A = this chain, B = another copy of it.
Amino acid sequence: MAKILIIDDEPSIVNLVSAYLKPEGYEVYTATDGPAGLKAAKTYKPDLLVLDIMLPGMDGLELLSRLRRESEVYVILLTARTEETDKIVGLSVGADDYVTKPFSPRELVARIKAALRRLNAGSSPGGAEILSFKRVRLDAGARMVTVDDHPIDLTAIEFDLLKALAENRGRVLTREQLLDKVWGGTYFGEMRVVDVHLGHVRQKLGHESLITTVRGVGYRFEDEPL
């Protein structure tokens, strides 16, 4: 899977971020000062770089601008300051995203995942791009759905919901799992949103038992694979 390099002088932050990323299946490399970081970046050729602006030995921005001479790696900057200027400077030097400290580890992970998803979008289809079933066909790239070859218009959430269920055809997904997959770990509202959106999906699909309610547990997508 994807390789990620974390450069930060505070070991606790490095460890924290690693702890969040490793379970997701990423290969994580670390460095705690500028020169070592630059070397690691060249050695390991990570797909994504998490870089603290303030580093001993070499400023993060300097590291970034040097690195940019030979690498297109995606960079997420960690900045302690809230000053806009930092962000702007960072982006102008070639960062692709930034997170201000103190940051929520979860937010950082979410951004990392999003970035990698985007990076992979063009090259290799991460998850299946198109899910085909007897009656339902779901094109992730185009974000389009057809039922019996009739195109159906779904909103973003509705689409993701259907996709999550379709990717797990035949398995029950709990509301929690669906919240996780569709809303992504940063949602803390009512669980019943799932019901509501799922109701909309059913309405639009013409609910011929394509999505089954499993009372007390969750929902299951039923259509057979093509």
Segment among A28-36, A39-47, A194-202, A214-222 that sits at the interface with chain B: A214-222
Measured between alpha carbons, how far is A41 from B61 in the docked complex, in Å?
A: 34
Measured between alpha carbons, how far is A106 from B86 in the docked complex, in Å?
A: 18
Contact residues in B for A156 (Cβ distance below 8 Å): 214-217
Inter-subunit contact B142/A92 (CB<8 Å): no
Q: A52-94: which have CB < 8 Å to B?
A: 80, 84, 87-88, 90-94
A110 part of interface (Cβ distance < 8 Å): yes
A23 part of interface (Cβ distance < 8 Å): yes
Partner of A105, one of B80, B97, B105, B141: B97
A206 part of interface (Cβ distance < 8 Å): no
Inter-subunit contact A92/B170 (CB<8 Å): no
Inter-subunit contact A12/B155 (CB<8 Å): no
A218 CB, min distance to chain B CBs, angstroms: 9
Inter-subunit contact A91/B23 (CB<8 Å): no
Sample of 19 further A-B pairs with CB below 8 A, known A104-B188, A143-B220: A12-B91, A13-B92, A16-B96, A19-B96, A87-B101, A97-B104, A97-B106, A98-B102, A110-B187, A139-B170, A141-B171, A142-B170, A142-B171, A142-B172, A142-B220, A143-B214, A143-B217, A155-B216, A156-B214
> Among A93, A102, A113, which residue has the most Cβ atoms of chain B within 10 A?
A102
Partner of A91, one of B16, B118, B171: B16
Inter-subunit contact A88/B80 (CB<8 Å): yes
Measured between alpha carbons, how far is A92 from B189 in the docked complex, in Å?
A: 29
Measured between alpha carbons, how far is A225 from B122 in the docked complex, in Å?
A: 30
Inter-subunit contact B102/A87 (CB<8 Å): yes
Contact residues in B for A118 (Cβ distance below 8 Å): 23
